[in-house]
Amino acid sequence: MAALRDAADAIVCLKHYAAFGAIGYYNADFSQISDEEVVELLARFPTGAPEAGEKSAVRGPV
């Protein structure tokens, strides 16, 4: 995690594994998705500052 701090503006990690190994240990499906599906998913979960009156989903130091 420390190595990523210089490469990213923010890091959000829901769970930190001390001995992670590889993503393949935890995910079985690595199928490709279309650009259109990526755009649709990004539109469903926008980032940035919350609108007036909304609470941020991010808590604690980032």
7-42: pLDDT as tens digits: 888 888 887 777 777 777 777 788 888 999 999 988
Residue 34 lies in a domain: yes
Residue 16 lies in a domain: yes
Indicate whether 60 pLDDT > 60: no
Q: How many Å apart are CA 44 and CA 30, to the nearest integer?
A: 21
Q: How many Å apart are CA 62 and CA 13, to the nearest integer?
A: 9
User: Does residue 49 contact residue 62 with C-beta atoms inside 8 Å?
Assistant: no
Residue 6 lies in a domain: yes
Residue 24 lies in a domain: yes
Q: How many Å apart are CA 50 and CA 59, to the nearest integer?
A: 13
Residue 37 lies in a domain: yes
Residue 40 lies in a domain: yes
What pLDDT does 53 receive? 66
Residue 12 lies in a domain: yes
Q: How many Å apart are CA 7 and CA 15, to the nearest integer?
A: 19
The parent domain of residue 29 ranges over 2-44
Q: What's the number of domains the chain is made of?
A: 1
